[in-house]
Amino acid sequence: MRRIALASTMLLALCTGTQAADQVKLGNLTQLSGPISPAGTETKRGIDLALEELGNKLGGLPVKYTSFVDAGIFAVGALAGPLQFAGKECHPNGFFVSFSNDDWPAAVGKYMTDKGVKSAFFLGADYQAGYEHVGAAIRYFKGKAIGPVYTPLTQLDFAPEIARIRAEKPDAVFAFLVGAGGVAFVKQYAQAGLQHQLPFYTEDPVANPLTFPAQGDAALGVIMGTNWTADLDNAANKKFVASFTAKYNRLPATFAALGYDAIKLIDSAVAGVGGKIENKDAVRAALRKANFQSVRGAFKFNNNHFPIQNLYIMEVKKDENGNLKAALKDTAIKDWQDPYHQECPMKW
């Protein structure tokens, strides 16, 4: 019997041993409470949908849920990967189907530059991911960076920051705020009259199907970086979007798409070794092949086990039925490789 676990950073962990497997244990330790819980909950929806399609099996082996996490695991990340894991601390048993914390902000920073933005005010949440996302956006933006300013994760009143934005008179604003903070900032930005005056650039978590009910029309015009959109034209994505919409009566957020891909990757690896997941070298090789139909189209891992993938720009608009949608606007970077892969010692 082998175990798979969902860790607090949304990792699917495949535990291997020396005996033949008769089932795969799937442990759920994902973060389903706190400021970033919407991401974990949405990712699990994608995971559940993929397992439902697979008949609750991975590579033909039955799946059983557990909270147990073992040593010697193969970890498959379904949410953001910390930068150190993409570089010097990369691990032969660690795989991320998602993105590094550089990816989305790199797309936005470059896009702002390409659109001729000369100065931008940078705002972020005061925690490690906030520093990494805002820092990357600044690095890839070639204009004048004002700030950055960091606010507590629990902050919901952004009047001081909005007042400073007015005083600085930038060409645009970039903000990476998660959970309730992101919802509040988008609403207050619009209430302050800046929505149609000062372009607001951000990333996928700030305005998406999870936040639209609370944000309403205040989200219109928000421009975001991402690595997936519901508009991507491939068979796997069309199937996923249709199935998710039928089940949850709304479009999926990117987190769900990444959770879905994580399960499909693991399924392909378990099937690729004929269910013999006690063979660690074979499992690693099968994961590296990534022989599955991703919702992002062709999927390939870099040497650091992070994806080589396109990065996109979305804009919040209304669809033909008047509903808010994060619509595909442009491809910011094709075949993106995070810069940290050069620091990763793995070669294969």
Tell me the C-alpha distance between 139 and 102, whole Å.
Answer: 10
- Residue 300's DSSP bridge partners are 308
- pLDDT per residue over 286-308, tens digit each? 999 999 999 999 999 999 999 99
Tell me the C-alpha distance between 345 and 325, whole Å.
Answer: 41
- pLDDT per residue over 20-54, tens digit each? 567 776 655 555 556 667 787 888 899 899 999 99
Domain formed by 2-99+231-301, architecture: 3-Layer(aba) Sandwich (3.40)
Nearest C-alpha neighbor of 225 from the set 340, 329, 298: 329
Nearest C-alpha neighbor of 14 from the set 59, 81, 80, 79: 59
- Residue 87 confidence (pLDDT): 94
CATH code, 103-226+311-335: 3.40.50.2300
For the chain, give every residue range classified as CATH 3.40.50.2300.
Answer: 2-99+231-301, 103-226+311-335
86 contacts 341 by C-beta, under 8 angstroms: yes
Q: Is the peptide bond before 148 cis (omega within 30 degrees of 0)?
A: yes
Nearest C-alpha neighbor of 108 from the set 76, 138, 131: 138
- Residue 319 confidence (pLDDT): 95
Give the pLDDT means over successive 10-residue stretches in the chain (348 positions). 40 54 65 66 89 92 64 72 87 91 96 99 96 97 99 97 98 96 98 97 96 98 98 98 98 96 94 89 96 98 98 98 97 97 96
Decide: residue 322, CB within 10 A, 0-12 exposed, 13-18 middle, 19+ buried.
exposed
- Residue 6 confidence (pLDDT): 37
| Run of H or E residues at 58 | strand 57-58
| Run of H or E residues at 203 | strand 200-203
Quote the pTM value: 0.91
